[in-house]
């Protein structure tokens, strides 16, 4: 049985076989040698979405007369048309501000030939992966992975200047997260915002890469929230789209997914099932793909399925095959059968984010430590931080050790990350539930004070913010002090030292407050 064709065809994806092999063989994709020369208007942004007007290219050899026109004097390979000079369409199967221009061998004004585009170099004519150069795995050097001597692809639109988003922005945007644990917390926020859609857990785990094994570990963040329909996943993969409504939602800016995933690793795959629309979608945000092909714009391949009919949701088969081929080449799952097995392993609704090619430190060691504790993710050098809690007489300051563990331990950080936990909600890190250790749980002799911010009012009049002050439960045998500041239930400033003295005054005094009347930075730090 062949994979489903265009809408209206009788080809269906079969139900999964109990042993997997017949199912894998049945839905293995067969990519055509020559793609359909017609590119649907929904090819850029997905099913039924407007792909924008065609882009005129005077200097490049184009391929299409228009977004829906036939190829002029050329063939289309992997969804990329090559032919006589004409109109260059958006790259099929991608979302982005502006796809790279088509391939050309015509020299520019200074005699240099234009470099091949992303789509034409991502796959060879035979469908085989191109050779990949070895790149640095250090996050703070990742912004230099692009070949600046390759030249910039010229682009234009009749009568308009077009804003473009270079892939290096993915790296510079991710530098807002100074530490990896803050990036992981950003992804947990997305799950917390899904509580009203039935989300009851979020799982963080480390697994081996499906094809590369333990040498390339993957971080998995998975929840059973409402999932994303085809439109929402495209907003998620884009910049600045935030449809979250309500004063209690943590996410606001539509930027967290991109900053957090790119801060943790070079590549991220999103698999999501939406119960309300009976759809599932798979999208790839790959810094490796963009750097290896010297892309000049951020492009993201996304495919959609109908869960009821097990059909592909598409407007153009050639576009869809191009997306799938890029997902299989640059993603962790190498066949459509593998992708379907990953989809079916999800709950009826929910989202799974897979992050791999994790960044390393300057000495080429992993930025996250998965070895020292089997049920935690830690930052390297945590042993040195633990030495700081040793007092002058050689005793361990248990209060400082407990309160400052968030600096290097994801498990400790999640324990205080939210002021209140939803009822029956679970955070699961590497197979073990996180114990609820909120700031209040570690306090004694708590007193409540009222803070009235100037020029801040509410519907009831003057805004009153409760402030809770007490002692750490280890006091007086601890030097820890400071306030934990929360915004919309989420920690934005842990153990902020608001008072310092050369004497012992203030030792052991801690507290917390929630300041929803302020606006935190977009990294919530």
Q: How high is the pLDDT of residue 177?
A: 83
Q: How high is the pLDDT of residue 111?
A: 38
The residues, ordered by sequence, that sit 6+ positions from 36 with a Cβ below 8 Å of its Cβ are 76, 316, 317, 318
Residues 391-403 have a mean pLDDT of 83
The residues, ordered by sequence, that sit 6+ positions from 473 with a Cβ below 8 Å of its Cβ are 399, 442, 443, 444
Given a cut of 90, whether residue 160 has pLDDT beyond it is no
CA 372-376-382 angle, to 5 degrees, is 55
Cβ distance 297 to 166 under 8 Å?
A: yes
The mean of the pLDDT values for the chain is 74
Predicted confidence band of residue 133 (pLDDT cuts 50, 70, 90) = low
Given a cut of 50, whether residue 59 has pLDDT beyond it is no
Q: How high is the pLDDT of residue 492?
A: 92
**Least confident segment among 157-171, 403-417, 445-459:** 157-171
Q: pLDDT of 90-107, one tens digit each? A: 444 455 533 333 333 333
| Distance in angstroms (rounded) separating the CA atoms of residues 287 and 142 | 9
User: Which DSSP state fits 68?
Assistant: T
| Distance in angstroms (rounded) separating the CA atoms of residues 182 and 368 | 12
Of 524 and 60, more confident? 524
Of 55 and 321, more confident? 321
Instruction: Quote the tokens at residue 231.
Output: 């439109």
Given a cut of 80, whether residue 401 has pLDDT beyond it is yes
CA 29-277-285 angle, to 5 degrees, is 55
Q: Percent of the chain scored above 70 by pLDDT?
A: 62
Cα dist. 155→57, 73, 176, 216 in Å?
7, 22, 30, 37
Predicted confidence band of residue 159 (pLDDT cuts 50, 70, 90) = low
Highest mean pLDDT among 4-8, 128-132, 446-450: 446-450
Given a cut of 60, whether residue 176 has pLDDT beyond it is yes
Q: How high is the pLDDT of residue 242?
A: 60
| Distance in angstroms (rounded) separating the CA atoms of residues 54 and 241 | 24
Q: How high is the pLDDT of residue 143?
A: 55
Q: pLDDT of 261-317, one tens digit each? A: 999 999 999 999 999 999 999 999 999 999 999 988 888 999 999 999 999 999 899
Q: How high is the pLDDT of residue 405?
A: 92
Pairing of strands 482-487, 509-514: parallel
Residues 339-358 have a mean pLDDT of 96
Domains of the chain (ranges, CATH numbers): 170-358 (3.30.565), 382-514 (no CATH)
Q: Percent of the chain scored above 90 by pLDDT?
A: 46
Residues 51-71 have a mean pLDDT of 33
| Distance in angstroms (rounded) separating the CA atoms of residues 248 and 419 | 13
Of 177 and 195, more confident? 195
Predicted confidence band of residue 28 (pLDDT cuts 50, 70, 90) = very low
User: Which DSSP state fits 3?
Assistant: P
Instruction: Quote the tokens at residue 141.
Output: 């050097």
Of 253 and 73, more confident? 253
**Least confident segment among 54-58, 327-331, 383-387:** 54-58
Cβ distance 440 to 471 under 8 Å?
A: no
Residues 496-521 have a mean pLDDT of 84
Q: How high is the pLDDT of residue 61?
A: 32
Closest CA relative to residue 408, chosen from 430, 427, 385: 385
Given a cut of 70, whether residue 76 has pLDDT beyond it is no
Given a cut of 60, whether residue 49 has pLDDT beyond it is no
Query: How many helices (H) and strands (E) would you count in the chain?
Result: 12, 21
Closest CA relative to residue 281, chosen from 229, 353, 210, 204: 229
Of 389 and 52, more confident? 389
Q: How high is the pLDDT of residue 122?
A: 43
Q: How many C-beta atoms surround the C-beta of residue 266 within 10 A?
A: 25
| Distance in angstroms (rounded) separating the CA atoms of residues 10 and 391 | 74
Predicted confidence band of residue 454 (pLDDT cuts 50, 70, 90) = confident
Q: pLDDT of 377-395, one tens digit each? A: 999 876 776 666 776 677 8
């Amino acid at each position: 049985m062949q994979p489903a064709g265009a809408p209206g065809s009788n080809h269906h994806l079969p139900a999964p076989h109990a042993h997997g092999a017949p199912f894998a063989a049945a839905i293995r994709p067969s990519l055509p040698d020559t793609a359909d020369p017609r590119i649907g208007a929904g090819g850029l942004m997905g099913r039924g979405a407007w792909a924008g007007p065609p882009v005129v290219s005077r200097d490049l050899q184009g391929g299409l007369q228009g977004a829906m026109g036939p190829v002029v004097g050329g063939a289309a390979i992997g969804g990329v048309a090559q032919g006589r000079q004409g109109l260059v369409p958006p790259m099929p199967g991608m979302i982005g501000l502006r796809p790279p221009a088509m391939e050309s061998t015509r020299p520019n004004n200074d005699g240099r030939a234009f470099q091949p585009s992303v789509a034409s170099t991502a796959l060879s004519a035979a469908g085989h992966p191109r050779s990949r150069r070895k790149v640095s795995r250090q996050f703070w050097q990742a912004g230099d992975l692009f070949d600046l001597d390759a030249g910039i692809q010229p682009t234009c639109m009749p009568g308009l200047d077009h804003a473009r988003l270079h892939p290096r922005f993915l790296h510079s945007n991710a530098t807002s997260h100074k530490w990896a644990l803050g990036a992981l917390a950003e992804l947990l926020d997305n799950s917390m915002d899904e509580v009203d859609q039935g989300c009851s857990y979020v799982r963080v785990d480390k697994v081996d890469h499906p094809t590369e094994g333990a040498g390339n570990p993957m971080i998995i963040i998975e929840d059973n929230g409402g999932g994303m329909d085809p439109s929402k996943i495209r907003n998620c993969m884009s910049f600045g789209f935030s449809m979250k409504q309500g004063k209690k939602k943590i996410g606001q800016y539509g930027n967290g997914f991109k900053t957090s995933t790119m801060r943790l690793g070079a590549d991220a795959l999103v698999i999501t099932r939406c119960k309300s629309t009976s759809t599932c979608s798979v999208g790839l945000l790959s810094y490796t793909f963009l750097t290896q092909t010297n892309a000049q714009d951020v492009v993201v391949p996304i495919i959609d399925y109908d869960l009821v009919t097990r059909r592909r949701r598409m407007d153009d088969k050639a576009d869809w095959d191009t997306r799938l081929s890029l997902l299989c080449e640059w993603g962790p799952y190498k066949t459509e059968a593998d992708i379907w097995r990953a989809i079916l392993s999800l709950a009826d609704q929910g989202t799974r984010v897979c992050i791999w090619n994790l960044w390393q430190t300057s000495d080429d060691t992993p930025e996250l430590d998965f070895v020292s504790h089997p049920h935690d993710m830690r930052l390297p050098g945590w042993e040195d931080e633990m030495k700081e809690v040793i007092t002058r007489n050689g005793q361990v300051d248990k209060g400082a050790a407990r309160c400052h563990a968030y600096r290097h331990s994801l498990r400790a950080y999640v324990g205080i990350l939210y002021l209140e936990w939803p009822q029956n909600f679970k955070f699961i890190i590497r197979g073990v539930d996180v114990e609820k250790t909120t700031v209040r749980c570690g306090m004694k002799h708590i007193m409540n004070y009222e803070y009235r911010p100037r020029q801040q009012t509410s519907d009831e009049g003057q805004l009153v913010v409760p402030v809770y002050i007490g002692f750490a439960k280890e006091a007086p045998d601890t030097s820890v002090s400071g306030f934990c500041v929360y915004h919309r239930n989420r920690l934005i400033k842990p153990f902020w030292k608001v008072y310092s003295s050369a004497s012992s005054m203030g030792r052991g005094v801690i507290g917390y407050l929630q300041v929803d009347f302020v606006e935190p930075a977009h990294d919530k730090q």
